[in-house]
Structure 1
Amino acid sequence: MVTREDIEAFLDRLSADGATHEEVEPGLWAVTPGGALDFVVVVTHNPPVVVMRVKVMALPADATDAAALNRRLLELNASDLLHGAYGIEGDAVVLTEALELAHLDFEEFLASFESMTLSLTTHMRELAAFREAR
């Protein structure tokens, strides 16, 4: 099973692509992807899984806008996301992904991390319209 130290080593390897990370508390890291991406991926080692989570945006206050956003997020879950999913936590839209630790290797960890960052990069232009509607 992958340990907290293994996850730390995976995060260290992400630095080759420009990502930086800080352990906020034992088993919980804030990871900033490299480049122009302006969000933080929270990585939590919580056996038997590791969870990646990004706060995407606040929910629109207008019920019509919120309903349209919810529908679009469900469509993106069905069409664009392989492992992760958009969801709602409190008053925020989040993107999450969970990976089993039993057989996790760096390549799978990297693929999930890159899938999340690519999805956000691709979807943010469209989702920004809901943020501006607020």
Structure 2
Amino acid sequence: MVTREDIEAFLDRLSAEGASFQEVEPGLWVVRPGGSLDFDVVVTHNPPVVLLRVKVMPHPTDPADAAALNKRLLELNATDLLHGAYGIDGDAVVLTEALELAHLDFEEFLASFESMTLSLTGHLRELAAFREAR
């Protein structure tokens, strides 16, 4: 099973590709993807899984905007996201992914991380309209 130290080694390897990270408490890291990406990925080692999570935006308070956004997020979950999913946590829209630690390797971790960051990068322009409507 992949340990907390293994996850930290994965994050060290991400750093070589331009990301930076900080452990804010044992088993909880805030990762900043490289380049112009302006969001943080929170990585949590929580056996038997590691969780990746991004707070995307506040959820709209207007019922019509919220319904339209929820519908679009479900469509994106069904068509554009391979492993992760959009969800709502309190008053925030989040993108999450859970990976089993039992057989996790760096390539799977990297693929999930890149899938999340690339998908979100592509979706942010579209989702910005809902952020502005708030």
- Looking at structure 2, the residues matched to 61 and 51 of structure 1 have their Cα atoms a distance apart, in angstroms, of 27
2:47 maps to which residue?
47
2:75 maps to which residue?
75
- Looking at structure 2, the residues matched to 35 and 44 of structure 1 have their Cα atoms a distance apart, in angstroms, of 23
2:86 maps to which residue?
86
1:24 maps to which residue?
24
1:119 aligns with 2:119: yes
- Looking at structure 1, the residues matched to 83 and 12 of structure 2 have their Cα atoms a distance apart, in angstroms, of 23
List runs of 5+ in structure 1 lacking aligned partners: none
* Identical counterparts, % of pairs: 85
Aligned to 2:123, the other structure's residue is in SS state helix
User: Offset of 1:17 from its aligned partner?
Assistant: 1.4
- Deviant stretches of 4+, over 2 Å: none
2:95 maps to which residue?
95
After TM superposition, the score normalised by the length of structure 1 is 0.99
Aligned to 1:17, the other structure's residue is in SS state coil
List runs of 5+ in structure 2 lacking aligned partners: none
User: Offset of 1:61 from its aligned partner?
Assistant: 1.4
After TM superposition, the score normalised by the length of structure 2 is 0.99
1:38 maps to which residue?
38
Aligned to 1:61, the other structure's residue is in SS state coil
- Looking at structure 1, the residues matched to 32 and 63 of structure 2 have their Cα atoms a distance apart, in angstroms, of 32
Aligned-CA RMSD value: 0.4
Aligned to 2:38, the other structure's residue is in SS state coil
User: Offset of 1:27 from its aligned partner?
Assistant: 0.2
- Looking at structure 2, the residues matched to 121 and 83 of structure 1 have their Cα atoms a distance apart, in angstroms, of 16
Deviation string 1:35-68 (CA, Å, 9 cap, x unpaired) is 0000000000000000000000001111100000
